Structure 1
Amino acid sequence: MDWVEGTSGVIRFEAERRAEGNTTGLLVRGESADALRALLDGELPVPEDSGLRGAVQAVYIDPPYNTGGAFADYSDKVDHELWLGMLRERLHLLREALTASGTLWLHIDDSEMAYAKVLLDEVFGRENLVSAIVVENNPKGRQLGKFFAGSHDHLLVYARDIRTVRLEPASAEAVNPADFPKSDERGPYRLLPLRNTNKKFHPGSVPTMHYGLWADGATGRVAADPFEGAIEVFPVFGDGSSAVWRWSAALVRERADELLARVVRGRGGERLDVFQVDRLHGERKKKLRSIWSAAEVGSSDSAKAELKKVLPGRQIFATPKPEPLLRRVLEAATEPGELVLDCFAGSGTTPVVAERMGRRWIAVELSSATVDAHLLPRLEHEGARFEVWRETSLAR
């Protein structure tokens, strides 16, 4: 397989066709390392005429997993050392392409996951690991597996520089309305203790956050300063030991209308406590968990079903990625107009979702058959505006 052996000599890419007007994407038929070098050296055009070096906000790659199997669209069995060399070379090139705030997302299964993680540590630095996400891709489990019924992949996320990375790993879809059981004229809400419930934080560790608030249990009013009818309330744990507040007195003064005093019953009997009124609203988001279920991001079966709708009657790509998965990645890692890169494009889920979300994109795919059968039809169905280039010669 040429893609694991590296190349030498002169590589030339030529335009196979050019879209009319401004383009938002670039599709390259060719070997991924050759294409990345040509892009980094300015020999291939980047959408909107920007150079590639330091320009990519998010890289998503789904390289061959090296499982030892063979699929209709590609072979997945090579020597382990060759696979490592292939991936190492491309990771170095991809790191050069990333912005200082960018991230790389590598999708892999158990076959080479541990080695991929070590390679990423080597190329990006261990300190730049953002997360190792578990992605459920087969809720039923693969019953033909030799031992356990495999049901997940891994998504290894690394920052170009953890000190300057920009991510928004939160989603409105992750918010459960059932978590806001109370309601008033302003809508659903929940009450959160203003007391810090983590016992690592106490008057000995953060003394400035242990102070008295003034509260009226009859009206619910809370303030940082005394008022008529109020009593002073200090934060305590359930066992009666001293605690600290989550908010400073200055923040209480600024947002006192978000606090509520209520009588609670504890081990020592009734006492007055202070709560934050946490409301559900349209802009609400929740931090994503490190396990992504198929119900949230789709599965192998749902991805194939998506392709059947778009390309009816065609042979379906063997291992497509579901569109909700890429949408979640790009929502977390990019803003509209930013550049996304996938150099193992396969069935084209990354450029399709990037196009739909208003991101610029670059997709590289080695197999001309895969480009013709899957990538081009999907992108054309999407109405994407893109250029196509192909590798035309290789002097060894």
Structure 2
Amino acid sequence: MTKTALREVKEPKPIAITSPDQQKARLNELKRLFPDLFDGEGNLDEKALRALVSPDGLALNERFRFEWAGKQQSKRYAFTPSRATLVADPTRSVDFESTENLIIEGDNLEVLKLLQATYFERVKCIYIDPPYNTGNDFIYPDDYRETKTAYWKRSGAIKDGVRLTAVTEASGRRHSNWLNMMQSRLLLARQLLRDDGIIFISIDDNEVAHLKLLASDIFGAENFIGQVTVLCNPKGRSQDKYLANCHEFLLIYSKSPLENGAVSVPKSTDEVKKNFPLRDEGGVYRELELRNTHREFGRHNRPNLYYPFYVSSTGKVSLDPKDGDEEIYPNWDDGFEGCWTWGKDRARQDLDKIVARKVSGRWKIFRKAYAAEPGNAPVKKLKSIWSDKKYHTEKGQTEFNRLFEKKEKIFQSPKSVDLIADAIRMATDEESIVMDFFAGSGTTAHAVFQVNAEDGKKRKFILVQVPEITAKDSLASKEGLSTISSLCIERVRLAGQKTREEHPDAEIDTGFRVYRLTDSYFPQNFYTPDPNKTEAENVAALEEHLEASRQHLLFGNEDFDEVVTEIALKNGYGLFYELEKLAAFTSNAVYRLRGNDKAALLCLDATLNEETIEALAQHSDEQLIVSSRALDTTKKWALQAAFKDNLHTA
């Protein structure tokens, strides 16, 4: 090979070994849209940015904004890449090979980062029940000064779960710490939502005011759908200081503006029968008076809605008079000149939906209100107060205890399944992904099972729960459920079993894959030089450290599956990838990796045979991922010449 050819060898693209660098991506997008905001060296020009957002010269600190201690650090930390990964735990899974549901054990911030490459803008519905910050619950102690090390690693041995920190009023930053914890997670959650996605957040009085400001900051005040008051404890809490609290809130935001009625839910069969007793070829309907029943509207301020209908002796309605027809105006019995709810053009267009009925000897005009348009299911808008007993926490507790066949409380105050089920009905369609990254006891998965069983749809769920240790003297610990995540997994298993028993003929995916958050399998430099050693000794120790960390990239090692999972997760192939070993390659183990409508050839062998390189070149139109250790300059040149931008190294 000539020196010229050697100079022309390009370095292959390294595969991603971290979650996406969201901070870099945001800056690149800003640069793409507004290149004039950057100076000649590609740095953001603060003066130009200020001029853009405040063209009239007003000071930025004079505008309305929501600030707290640590806000900017929290935002930056949200978009810092994660070097962690997920490993499968088939022994704790159900129907591992066939299911499309996920339960992930680990810190939800790190997990949300890792899911970005695969689930970016794919989640339709998020429901979360975060810590309420009562002073007695737990806050995730994110440390923004050590962004390279995930807190789940710092705060305790992984096998023992994660120690969380109670934040009391005495800490002086109780609300700021809580907001920092929530902001970073909601920023990442928003990126996972589809454009028509919706998030539901349960909260109580402690943080509802702050949470609404925060959510409006992240999702946009224009995307606020509503604040539902949920009657969860009708007896009230007698230990409360002033009022016996009996409610919680459900804040609802969409990612982008939705159409009117977008979060309506299907009416039950009983509701349809009760409310729509009449039927014709257009479906079931009820009759509503066409006259506006509010006297503040009438001929005096709605003259265009004041006009006559003409009714024959047989009750036929027309807008054009015929001999013998009776003229009917929207007048009240006392002579007040009212108005119709439809204009004359609308009435002429839908005249077949207008009927006349004699009431107390006088003709009255009605319109047919159908339960739904032809071909659509009848729907209704839910109200802003949910007081039905099905939402009571006591019902959630009873259902949970029944699953575990216990009278005592293994888990305190789980949410009602019906509460989350109604949220799912409001926000999802046929095969929506439902996410809960404060999964707790797993009620969200139970709700997905229930709603799928009822309507036959195929929603999938992703649950994330930190392995918080259960108290040693608790019933959960005595039952062998040493962490909240293990309790969640068991609850979802039991809920799936119960759903299958109650709906034996339904085709429901009641399985789930369990994954655990852990260290990356790719080499990382965690070596700290020893001041008592010479430079040469430290360099030698560093090489030894890196060599040891590379060993699990060798094909045949027991970590091979985990390495492939990390590659698939961080490069957008997902956790439900397929790996097919290609029989045409005999000198090296070559696979085809498929997932999320992507595919690549994959070979992680420490050396590549010449025969393999020649055979790989026949697939130059595909993506190829190989181990960087297997490439010397000659092999790198040969593959780069064949695959060009399709060559990637691990």
* Category of TM-score, reference length = shorter chain: 0.7 to 0.9
Distance in structure 1 (CA, Å) of the matches to 2:292 and 2:264? 24
Q: CA deviation at 1:251?
A: 4.5
Q: CA deviation at 1:386?
A: 2.1
Alignment of 1:343 with 2:437, yes or no, is yes
Determine if contact 2:272/2:378 at 8 Å carries over to the other structure: no
| Segments ≥4 residues shifted beyond 6 Å | 4-9, 73-76, 182-189, 279-282
Q: CA deviation at 1:379?
A: 3.1
Task: State the partner residue of 2:385.
Answer: 291
Distance in structure 2 (CA, Å) of the matches to 1:81 and 1:35? 23
Determine if contact 1:355/1:361 at 8 Å carries over to the other structure: no
Q: CA deviation at 1:351?
A: 1.8
Alignment of 1:374 with 2:501, yes or no, is no
Task: State the partner residue of 1:12.
Answer: 85
Distance in structure 1 (CA, Å) of the matches to 2:178 and 2:247? 21
Task: State the partner residue of 1:308.
Answer: 401
Task: State the partner residue of 1:38.
Answer: 114
TM-score w.r.t. length of structure 2: 0.52
Kindly provide the amino acid, as one letter, of the partner of residue 303 in structure 1: G
SS in 1 for 2:119: coil
Kindly provide the amino acid, as one letter, of the partner of residue 245 in structure 2: G
* Structure 2 CA distance for partners of 1:238 and 1:152, relative to 1, 3 Å: farther
Determine if contact 2:203/2:249 at 8 Å carries over to the other structure: yes
Task: State the partner residue of 2:461.
Answer: 361
| Larger RCO, structures 1/2 (Cα 8 Å, 6+ apart) | 1
Kindly provide the amino acid, as one letter, of the partner of residue 276 in structure 1: R
Distance in structure 2 (CA, Å) of the matches to 1:142 and 1:228? 71
For residues 44-73 of structure 1, the C-alpha deviation after alignment (integer angstroms, 9 at most, x for no partner) is xxxxxxx311111111111000112359x9
Task: State the partner residue of 1:114.
Answer: 209
Q: CA deviation at 1:14?
A: 1.6
Kindly provide the amino acid, as one letter, of the partner of residue 97 in structure 2: G
Task: State the partner residue of 1:26.
Answer: 102
Residue of structure 1 aligned with 2:310, choices 214, 225, 242: 214
Distance in structure 1 (CA, Å) of the matches to 2:87 and 2:385? 42
Determine if contact 1:175/1:286 at 8 Å carries over to the other structure: no
Q: Which has the larger radius of gyration?
A: 2
SS in 2 for 1:69: coil
Q: 1:1-396, aligned counterparts within 5 Å?
A: 10-17=83-90, 19-40=95-116, 42=117, 51-70=118-137, 77=167, 79-163=174-258, 167-173=262-268, 175=271, 191-198=287-294, 202=298, 207-216=303-312, 218-236=313-331, 240-253=335-348, 255-263=350-358, 272-278=363-369, 283-295=377-389, 297-313=390-406, 315-356=409-450, 357=452, 358-367=458-467, 369-379=483-493, 381-382=495-496, 384-393=510-519
Determine if contact 1:236/1:242 at 8 Å carries over to the other structure: yes
Alignment RMSD (CA, Å): 3.5
Distance in structure 2 (CA, Å) of the matches to 1:149 and 1:329? 26
For residues 298-346 of structure 1, the C-alpha deviation after alignment (integer angstroms, 9 at most, x for no partner) is 2111101111121113853213111111111111110121111111000
SS in 1 for 2:115: helix
Distance in structure 2 (CA, Å) of the matches to 1:222 and 1:231? 10
SS in 2 for 1:192: strand
Determine if contact 2:496/2:511 at 8 Å carries over to the other structure: no
Determine if contact 1:56/1:102 at 8 Å carries over to the other structure: yes
Aligned residues: 376
Distance in structure 1 (CA, Å) of the matches to 2:113 and 2:280? 60
- Structure 1's unaligned 5+ residue stretches are 43-50
Q: Among the aligned pairs, what percent are the same residue? A: 30
TM-score w.r.t. length of structure 1: 0.82
- Structure 2's unaligned 5+ residue stretches are 1-72, 139-162, 169-173, 453-457, 469-482, 498-509, 527-650
Determine which structure has the larger strand proportion and give its number.
1
Q: CA deviation at 1:212?
A: 2.1
